[in-house]
């Protein structure tokens, strides 16, 4: 799964990569967690073409059929293998695909020794230093009182040959050349778009162990991303 990530590039650099119309100004965030507002990029048909847009959504997807949000689980991820058919996501996969800009994401390596369980956090980023476009879905949920809330989730796939050393899942990374295909829900079917949800090549990501402070939702700042001295290179 993907339960924490970071967006730290300057806003203009993100805008140039994703090509949306708005010019938002947002601070670097080193520890983005579920239920928080996250930036997403969508594409809408306008004047015969498609325009990309920046918007904020709650990280925690709510399908339109939910009656009581208090009794519905928090959907921060959707599995690529089942997203086309699963009732919670299939409509959004057809009509409301998005990109989630990110500079890094975090996973925990689970280690067991007898009855003891230890979890070591790792930071994953593109080896070329560029931001990532994570595959996402969004939905505007309308509550029983008529209030609207924009919600989103991140799609995951099997880990790459390299990242499987830490975790068996990874976010599905959409390469810039595939942004249009992923976002164009009119021209590209859900089944065709699902073909883009594949593990990254082994050399796309670099990763290293970081300190435990990332586990606290209230923690933020660049110090969270410093490598531990004993693991300066990927495992």
DSSP 53-74: EEEEEEESB--TT-S-GGGS--
Q: Give the separation between CA 110 and CA 166, rounded to whole angstroms.
A: 8
Compute CA distances 145 → 61, 78, 180, whole Å. Answer: 19, 27, 36
Going by pLDDT thresholds of 50, 70 and 90, the confidence category of residue 232 is very low
Cα Rg of the chain, angstroms: 18
Q: Give the separation between CA 162 and CA 111, rounded to whole angstroms.
A: 18
**Known catalytic residue: 2?**
yes
pLDDT at 9 over 90: yes
The residue assigned the tokens 């290293």 is 208
Going by pLDDT thresholds of 50, 70 and 90, the confidence category of residue 69 is confident
pLDDT per residue as tens digits for the range 103-158: 999 999 998 877 788 899 999 999 999 999 999 999 999 988 888 999 999 999 99
Q: What pLDDT, on a 0 to 100 scale, did the predictor assign at position 82?
A: 97
Share the mean pLDDT of the chain.
94
| Full-model pTM | 0.94
Task: Tell which residue, 8, 12, 7, 32, has the closest CA to residue 22.
Answer: 12
Residue 108 β-bridge partners: 121
**Known catalytic residue: 158?**
no
Among 107, 139, 153, 185, which one carries the catalytic annotation? 107
CB 157 within 8 A of CB 170: yes
CB 107 within 8 A of CB 167: yes
Sign, CA torsion 186/190/191/193:
positive
Residues sharing a CB contact under 8 Å with residue 150, sequence separation 6 or more, in sequence order: 55, 56, 57, 58, 138, 139, 140, 141
73: exposed, middle or buried (C-beta count within 10 Å: 0-12, 13-18, 19+)? exposed
CB 214 within 8 A of CB 31: yes
């Amino acid at each position: 799964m993907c339960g924490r990530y970071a967006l730290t590039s300057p806003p203009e650099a993100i805008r140039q990569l994703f090509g949306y119309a708005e010019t938002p100004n947002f601070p670097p965030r080193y520890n983005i967690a579920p239920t928080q507002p996250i930036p997403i990029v969508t594409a809408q048909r306008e004047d015969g073409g498609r325009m990309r847009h920046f918007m904020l959504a709650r990280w925690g997807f709510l399908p339109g059929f939910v009656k009581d949000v208090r009794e519905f689980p928090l959907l921060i991820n959707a599995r690529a293998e089942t997203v086309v058919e699963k009732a919670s996501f299939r409509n959004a996969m057809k009509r409301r695909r998005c990109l989630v800009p990110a500079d890094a994401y975090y996973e925990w390596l689970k280690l067991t020794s007898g009855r003891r369980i230890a979890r070591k956090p790792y930071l994953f980023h593109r080896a070329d230093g560029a931001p990532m476009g994570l595959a996402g879905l969004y939905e505007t949920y309308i509550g029983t009182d008529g209030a609207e809330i924009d919600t989103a989730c991140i799609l995951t796939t099997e880990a790459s040959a390299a990242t499987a050393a830490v975790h068996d899942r990874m976010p599905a990374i959409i390469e810039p050349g595939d942004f249009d295909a992923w976002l164009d829900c009119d021209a590209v079917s859900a089944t065709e778009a699902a073909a883009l949800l594949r593990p990254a090549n082994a050399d796309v990501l670099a990763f290293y162990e970081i300190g435990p402070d990332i586990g606290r939702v209230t923690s933020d700042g660049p110090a969270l991303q410093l490598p531990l001295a004993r693991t300066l290179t990927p495992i």
